[in-house]
Amino acid sequence: MGIAHPTKLYNSDRWTSYIGYKASSLNGTETRHREKHGVTFEEAAEVFFDPFYQEGDATSNNYEERDFIIGYSLSQRLLLVAYLERYGRNRIVSARPATRAERKLYEQA
């Protein structure tokens, strides 16, 4: 599954869009998230292009069906990204460096 690097289509303070991937940055959400976890939405989107990524269900409530993906960014950081699908696009909800247990899950697959 060789997919190329994400192509940036549009970038502003409000939205960063990728082909098939959208990350919202409303009301400073991206800034707060980057300060807390050290991961930008752009880096989180790169995980979808790791040919060896692992996916799973991240739904915690019955409100929205969420999934997660574990994979490497282009900076060679192993990240866990929670996302949901809306209108045929993946919306990134959260991203952070993978824990030891998550790293093991990725490496065992």
pLDDT tens, N- to C-terminus, the chain (109 residues)? 333 334 333 333 333 334 344 444 445 666 666 666 688 888 999 999 999 999 998 887 767 788 999 999 999 999 999 998 888 888 888 899 999 999 998 999 8
Q: DSSP state, 98?
A: P
For residue 53, the model assigns a pLDDT of: 94
Report whether 109 contacts 52 (CB < 8 A).
yes
Report whether 22 contacts 9 (CB < 8 A).
no
For residue 97, the model assigns a pLDDT of: 94
What phi and psi, each to the nearest 5 degrees, are found at residue 101?
A: -65, -40
